[in-house]
Each structure stands twice: as C-alpha cells, then as structure tokens.
Amino acid sequence: MTGTFKPPKKIIGNYGNAMISYKTVDDFMYLLNRDIHSIIMFEDSTDELKEQGEIILPRHYHIFAGTKDGELQFKSYEYDQYRIVVSTYKDIIMSIDSIG
C-alpha cells in the first residue's frame, strides 16, 4: 500500500452546507517553488511526461492563482473540492492557500 487511509475532512460552510475534502494542503507541498505553467493537468499527461519526471496533478484537480504578484484575484463562491488555491509571484508558486 502507498499509505494509510485518511478519512475525509468535513467542514460546514457559511450557508450550512457540508464541504468534504479528501486532500489537505500538506498533500500538495511538492508544488511550492514551481512555475505554475509547467504543472501538467492529469488529462493532458502522457506516459512519456511521467517518465521524464514532470509534475502531474491528480485526476480532476486544477490550480487557481488566488493571489498574483500581491493582487487578489476573483474566485467564485461555490465550493470546488478539486480547486488548489495558490499564491504566486512572477508565476512561481509561493504558498498553497487552500483546497476547495
């Protein structure tokens, strides 16, 4: 097995709806100090890219730059359990703010 099972984290949102996250910020620490444009979506990946050691996101996940060069960006209000919100400076990921 690759690791122990972690039960999903259940959070209650502002409107009383349950938001369940299977991943945490710690699961994506490997993205720090990487160019946001060099990270490959799962759907765009190939076996060749995997063998070359490129960074490929897990299935369904996508990156949203919540803060670009110190400026806040508009983020939709609906909860998306697959959205990775990051802060970037000159397209380099400086921090991972949240998942969802």
User: How many of the other CB atoms lie within 10 Å of CB of 63?
Assistant: 19
The first and second tokens of residue 86, run together, are: 């990051």
Return per-residue pLDDT of the chain as tens, 100 residues: 456 666 666 677 777 777 666 788 888 999 999 999 999 999 998 889 889 989 999 988 999 998 999 888 887 777 788 899 999 999 999 999 988 7
pTM for the structure as a whole: 0.76
pLDDT score, position 38? 92
Q: What is the pLDDT of residue 3?
A: 63
CA dist., res. 28 & res. 99, Å (int): 9
